[in-house]
Amino acid sequence: MINEKMEKAFNDQINKELYSEYLYLSMKAYFERLNLKGFVNWMNVQIQEEHAHGMGMFDYLHQRGGKVVLEAIDKPKSDWTSPLNCFEEILAHEEYVTSRINALLDVAEETKDRAATIFLNWYLKEQVEEEDSVGGVLASLKLIGDDKKALLMLDKELATRVFNPPVIG
Any domain includes 168: no
Is 169 part of a structural domain of the chain?
Answer: no
Structural domains in the chain (count) = 1
Q: Please compute the mean of the pLDDT values over residues 30-42 and round it to a whole number.
A: 98
Is residue 169 scored above 80 in pLDDT?
no
Q: Is 123 part of a structural domain of the chain?
A: yes
12 residue type, one letter: D
Spatial CB neighbours of 20, under 8 Å, sequence gap ≥ 6? 50, 53, 54, 93, 97
Length of the chain: 169
Give the Cβ contact number of residue 110 at 10 Å. 12
Residue 167, in any domain of the structure: no
In tens, the pLDDT along 129-140 reads 999 999 999 999
Residue 34 falls inside a structural domain: yes
Domain containing 49 — which CATH number? 1.20.1260.10
Q: Average pLDDT, whole number, for the chain?
A: 97
Q: Where does the chain have alpha helices with state H?
A: 4-34, 37-63, 83-110, 114-144, 148-158
Q: Is residue 28 part of a domain?
A: yes
For residues 6 and 9, what is the distance between their CA atoms, to the nearest angstrom?
5
Q: Could you list the residue range(s) of the whole structural domain that residue 136 is in?
A: 4-70+79-158
Is the pLDDT at 109 greater than 90? The verdict is yes
Q: Which amino acid is it at 134?
A: V
- Integer-rounded Cα Rg, in Å, for the chain is 17
